[in-house]
Amino acid sequence: MSTAKSEPIATRIARALAERIISGRIDAGERLRQDHIAEEFGASHVPVREAFRQLEAQGLVESEPRRGVRVTRLGPDEAQEIAEMRAVLEALALRHAAPHLTKAILDEAEEATKAGDRAPDVETWERENRRFHRLILAPCSMPRLLRSIDELHIASARFLFRGWHAEWESPTDRDHRAILVALRAGDVDGAAQRLSRHIRWSGKKPTGASKRLNQAAR
């Protein structure tokens, strides 16, 4: 993930650690060692502590008195809660964004969907999936709402990565295409309803990788 040269080192550390946590390279429940991280990034403890605060605000880590910082666990109940919150908030954002969605934005969102269909791994698919959602929601021009949605995307990505790393096959996302068809036709209610249904499946407890992929392709 590219970052600007002017990006504060605390933000750069938080971004790098977030990628590792989301992808599962740092396991849930694992402690983050302040000394080790400071040495890795050539930083003092001050930006590392600030990075930990940023990660805690995103719900990726939790601070334990006298025990340091530990990566949070994400169970089925939390995943369902996150999906329900996303379903409501993203539908709200889409309704406000719809009047400002241009043909160019919708075309770019369609390209993101096609790129997701061709994704060679879950990391690429998740990145293109998130790009699709950001493209159709960003024109709502409600920054606090969009920040909340971004944080929920980060949390739900952990659930998806954990389920799909073992058996990956790129799904064909029919929901994304149906949402775009509705938006191009001016059917905002239909698009918002389809988006909500599309999101809610991610909060359901899966029974296997194949079932997850089938759900994603509906």
Note the pLDDT tens digit of each residue in 90-133: 999 999 999 999 999 999 999 999 999 888 888 888 899 999 99
On average, the pLDDT of the chain sits at 85
- Show the tokens assigned to 76: 């089925």
Indicate the number of domains in the chain: 2
What pLDDT was estimated at residue 103? 98
- 48: containing domain: 9-71
In this structure, what token pair is assigned to residue 79?
């995943």
Label residues 161-199 b or e (16+ Cβ within 10 Å = b). bbbbeeebebbebebbebbbebbeeeebeebbebbbebb
> What's the pLDDT at 110?
97
Q: What does the alpha-carbon distance between residue 204 and residue 76 come to, in Å, rounded to a whole number?
A: 7
Cα torsion angle, 51, 13, 84, 77, sign: negative
Average pLDDT over residues 174-183: 94
Residues 134 and 96 in one domain: yes
Query: What does DSSP assign to residue 124?
Result: H
Whether residues 30 and 115 fall in one domain: no
| CATH code of residue 177 | 1.20.120.530
Helix (H, G, I), strand (E, B) or coil at 9: helix
Q: Do 29 and 137 lie in a common domain? A: no
pLDDT digits (tens, 9 = 90+) for 140-162: 999 999 999 998 988 888 877 76
Q: How confident is the model at residue 3 (pLDDT cuts 50, 70, 90)?
A: very low
Bridge partners of residue 61, in order along the sequence: 71
Do 117 and 147 reside in the same domain of the chain?
Answer: yes
| Final residue in a domain of this structure, among 51, 71, 91 | 71
**CA-based nearest residue to 203, from 58, 60, 84, 28:** 84
- pLDDT (tens digit per residue) in 50-64: 999 999 988 889 998
* Residue 41 shares a structural domain with residue 135: no
Total residues belonging to the chain: 218
The single-letter code of the amino acid at 154 is I
Domain-embedded: residue 1: no
For residues 153 and 134, give the distance between their C-alpha atoms in angstroms, rounded to a whole number: 10
Residue 2 lies in a domain: no
Q: Strand 68-71 vs strand 31-32: parallel, antiparallel, or unpaired?
A: antiparallel
Question: pLDDT tens for residues 69-84?
Answer: 999 887 778 888 889 9
Task: Examine the pLDDT at 190 and tell me if it is beyond 50.
Answer: yes
Query: pTM above 0.85?
Result: no
Residue with tokens 């096959």: 169
Instruction: Output Rg (C-alpha) for the chain, integer angstroms.
Output: 18
